[in-house]
Amino acid sequence: MAKAARIVATGSYLPERILTNKDLEQMVDTSDEWIFSRTGMKERRIASSNEFTSDMGCKAAQMALERSGISAQDLDLILVATITPDYVFPSTAALIQSTLKAPQAAAFDFQAACTGYVYGLAIAKGFIEGGVYKNILLIASEKLSSIIDYKDRNTCVLFGDGASAAVIRDSGPGLLIKQTSLGADGGVANLLMLPGGGCRQPATLESVEKGLHYLSMEGKEVFKHAVRRMQSAAIHCLDLAGLAQSDIDWLIPHQANERIIDAIAKRFEIDEAKVFKTVHKYGNTSASGVAIALDELLDEKDIGKGDNLLLVAFGAGFTWGAAILTRAEI
């Protein structure tokens, strides 16, 4: 019988330091009122100067592995979704493979920005259901504070750091990755990007002076695309799975802005209490956002047999995607 990929355990790590809206008032011309009313954010976590994407990813992974009942030695593959890797190369996944002591595991990074975790679920599902691997560790980890200009009020209030991980296996109890749907449009890549640091604009004194190594975003435009693309990704994923909107028990959208989340929820006519949010306390943690929210949802709520969770995300690229997770009957 064909193997079905399932998440058997999750874990997360959030740095200790909290950056509140009040703190930001001391740094740029902004206010708690503006930030909260435009984004729903109250605070976000910031990694310390000697804490990196691989460190946070490892901590989340260790928690997920402990809960999964398998050890790092059993892992066949480590996948890391990030736009803030420790280095351009080697991969953050390879660094984590060494720290976790997972000698049998292949390891690579991939990036689909804020859609990274959803892309990762699709990659893991393909490897497991194709019979290539049995035990996969999917990590989303971001130190966005390393690419944010804390003098730019348009962006610095929005982002935070954090990591989350999932152990994905071919057997055992957990959440089946029932369906995924992915999309991309690189035609508007300039609306959300990190212009410097790649081969088009390697680091030079001039590029650093121009601030090209900071995230740049046309927020209003991105907002419109985010709502439209997340809605269509979710609908496409439901169609592929043969499910109706009413079959969704929990909606976990990308945690970029509470107004975006509410706009999507409204289009889905889902009970407000079934839309899971962490944006108020962690801000936008890019790839880690839906992953951290999923981990917290599993900690806090009872997910019954057969319940369907719909994850939906949107990010730079642009990329977008949705995944339906179903509590396995086993």
What are the residues binding ligand UT7 (CB under 6 A)? 30, 34-35, 38-39, 114, 153-154, 157, 219-220, 222-223, 226, 256-257, 260, 284, 314-315
In the complex, minimum distance from the CB of residue 120 to ligand UT7, in angstroms, rounded to a whole number: 16
Cβ closest to ligand UT7, residue 214 vs residue 314: 314
CA 111/CA 117 separation, integer angstroms: 9
Nearer to ligand UT7, 30 or 62 (CB): 30
Angle between helices 92-100 and 53-68 (to 10 degrees): 50
- The answer to whether the Cα torsion of 283, 164, 125, 302 is positive or negative is negative
Distance CA 60, CA 79 (A): 13
Query: Of 114, 135, 156, 237, which residue is the catalytic one?
Result: 114
Backbone angles phi, psi at 156, to 5 degrees: -70, -20
Is residue 254 annotated as a catalytic residue, yes or no?
yes
Pairing of strands 216-217, 43-46: unpaired
Please say if 284 is a catalytic residue.
yes
Catalytic, out of 21, 58, 237, 254? 254
Query: Tokens 């209030």 label which residue?
Result: 157
Q: Provide the minimum distance between the beta carbon of 32 and ligand UT7 in the complex, in angstroms, as a whole number.
A: 10
- Of the pair 64, 114, the CB lying nearest ligand UT7 is at 114
170: its two tokens: 């071919």
- Taking the least distance from each CB to ligand UT7, the nearer of 35 and 298 is 35
Query: Measured between alpha carbons, how far is 186 from 202 in angstroms, rounded to an integer?
Result: 21
225 among known catalytic residues: no
Number of residue whose CB is nearest ligand UT7: 219
Q: How far is the CB of 144 from ligand UT7 (least distance, A)?
A: 10
Q: What's the closest the beta carbon of residue 252 comes to ligand UT7, in angstroms?
A: 15
Residues in contact with 277: Cβ distance below 8 Å, sequence separation at least 6, in sequence order: 40, 255, 258, 261, 293
Half-sphere exposure of 187 (CA within 13 A, CB side): 3
- Pair 162, 285: CB distance under 8 Å: yes
Cβ-based nearer residue to ligand UT7, 195 or 219: 219
Q: Which of 21, 257, 284, 308 is catalytic?
A: 284
Cα 56 to Cα 83, 131, 198: the distances in Å are 14, 30, 24
CB of 14 to ligand UT7, least distance (A): 18
- Positions annotated as catalytic residues are 114, 254, 284
